[in-house]
Amino acid sequence: MPTDFRLPDLGEGVTEGQVVRLLVAEGDQVTEDQPLLEVETDKVSVEIPSPHTGVVAKLHVVEKQVINVGAVMVTFAEDFSTPAAAVEPKPKAAATAPAAARSADGPADTGVTVARTVAGRTKPASPAVRKLARQLGADLQTIEGSGPGGRVLRQDVERAAAAPSPQAVPDQWGPTRREPMTRARRTIAQVMARSASTIPHVTDTDDADVTDLDRLRREYHGRKLTILTFVVRATAMALQEHPLFNARFDAETGDIIYHEYISIAIGVHTERGLIAPVIRNVDTLTIPQIADELEALAEKARRATLAVNDTRGGTFTISNAGAMGGSRYSTPIINHPQSAVLSLGRTRLQPWVVKGKIVPRSILPLSLSFDHRLIDGANEVVFMQAIIGLLQDPAELG
């Protein structure tokens, strides 16, 4: 009996994931813990390690396929059935009935050729489900059945139909191409649409003269730090003084919910899109500690090993847009359900008027969007100036 390996429970209420990459092929010999494939859930991608040492007889998934927890991903040629299963006695064929159970001749039942065994060539599915698949335009043969014996169920078809497959779709003016979004992109799309449509955004822009800070950060207690490190620190301090910016609006009740902690999400761009891992209790961290946290997050983001929890529980967001290119100001979208977001432009030398003289200074452009339901422009100006003040006088940052 070959052994099936199913998508394990990934925790955090995650019920499905998308196959990003297959790391083995049918016929491969794999060792225990060797990564078999990479699966992406809401915002995290995980490598699924092999539970056994053995031969991959069949891969049941393809890249880009969305699969449910519990769906068979890989079949091993070998029998790894657990002792618990082996305890079940295998009754002998009843001696009373003149019966014969035999395997067909032919090459199909050795373990290694199991992959070639085609179950009647068609996917098992009831006539009603087949009809549904036609109506929804889903190709039954490509749907992974979650029922017994791989039977395709109604919900399998509905799920498959919800994820359109790549295909050329001409419109009135010329050819177009349809492609499914990655899971991560779909999540971003949903979150952004919700933020933009439910939160009345106002954005203000200003500049901080970070000439002194820029000098300081290059040799901070023997360590070179990023401007971002200090912005995080300054923001945490400003949030302590201006708790509205660390609050959220409960539209159901009309209440303002103040967070008694300060956890800042850092928006970073990765290959898989925008993600915002969180530094917790920033107000209790020293500048070097913040720097350590930022480095750790960057490393995790690069390796795509962030856990779902790493992106949850932020109370304010800083987006380091400047690190991604040359932008000065932007109109950042608030990370729902927070009340404000700060976006950093790129620091550069600018002609600046200091004490009546034009001098070159390092200028950091800042853009701040806030939820106008609970914050007014007057509050915002004070908050922005508090941050700018701290950045321009780094001694204050401690």
Q: Which residues are known catalytic residues?
A: 372
- 356-361 LR contacts (CB < 8 Å, sep 24+): 361/209, 361/211
Question: Closer to other proteins at the Cβ: 109 or 396?
Answer: 109
Please measure the distance between the N-terminal and C-terminal CA atoms of the chain and give it in whole angstroms.
66
Min dist. Cβ of residue 93 to other proteins (A): 6
Min dist. Cβ of residue 41 to other proteins (A): 28
**Positions 15 through 44 that interact with other proteins (CB under 8 A):** none
Say how far apart CA 39 and CA 352 lie, in whole Å: 50
Check residue 148 for interaction with other proteins (CB under 8 A). Answer: yes
Cβ neighbours of residue 182 closer than 8 Å, sequence gap 6 or more: 18, 20, 40, 272, 273
Tokens representing residue 164 in the block: 């359109």
Q: Where do we find the tokens 């519990």? A: 70
**Positions 82 through 141 that interact with other proteins (CB under 8 A):** 90-91, 93-94, 97-106, 108-109, 114, 116-127, 130-131, 134-135
Say how far apart CA 188 and CA 276 lie, in whole Å: 11
Min dist. Cβ of residue 196 to other proteins (A): 37
Question: 190: part of which helix (H) or strand (E)?
Answer: helix 183-198
Question: Closer to other proteins at the Cβ: 123 or 272?
Answer: 123
Check residue 149 for interaction with other proteins (CB under 8 A). Answer: yes
* 372 Rama sector, left if φ>0, alpha if ψ -120 to 50, beta otherwise: alpha
Say how far apart CA 151 and CA 133 lie, in whole Å: 13
Q: Which stretch binds other proteins (CB under 8 A): 144-152, 315-323, 358-366, 385-393?
A: 144-152
Say how far apart CA 103 and CA 116 lie, in whole Å: 16
Min dist. Cβ of residue 253 to other proteins (A): 48
Cβ neighbours of residue 203 closer than 8 Å, sequence gap 6 or more: 331, 332, 367, 368, 369
Tell me how many degrees the CA angle 257-258-263 measures, rounded to the nearest 5. 120
Question: Closer to other proteins at the Cβ: 123 or 183?
Answer: 123
DSSP string, 310-373: GGS--SEEEE-GGGGSS-----PPP-TT-SEEEEE---EEEEEEETTEEEEEEEEEEEEEEETT
Check residue 325 for interaction with other proteins (CB under 8 A). Answer: no
Question: Closer to other proteins at the Cβ: 101 or 353?
Answer: 101
How far from chain centre, in Å, is Cα 67? 16
* Total residues interacting with other proteins, rule: CB under 8 A: 40
Min dist. Cβ of residue 145 to other proteins (A): 8
Min dist. Cβ of residue 74 to other proteins (A): 14
Tokens representing residue 145 in the block: 């059945």
Question: Sign of dihedral through CA atoms 287, 291, 296, 298?
Answer: positive
Question: Closer to other proteins at the Cβ: 119 or 378?
Answer: 119
Tell me how many degrees the CA angle 80-81-82 measures, rounded to the nearest 5. 110
Question: Closer to other proteins at the Cβ: 93 or 378?
Answer: 93
Min dist. Cβ of residue 139 to other proteins (A): 13
Question: Closer to other proteins at the Cβ: 153 or 307?
Answer: 153
Check residue 283 and report its DSSP letter: G
Question: Closer to other proteins at the Cβ: 71 or 199?
Answer: 71
Check residue 393 for interaction with other proteins (CB under 8 A). Answer: no
Check residue 199 for interaction with other proteins (CB under 8 A). Answer: no
Binding residues for other proteins, per CB under 8 A? 2, 90-91, 93-94, 97-106, 108-109, 114, 116-127, 130-131, 134-135, 147-152
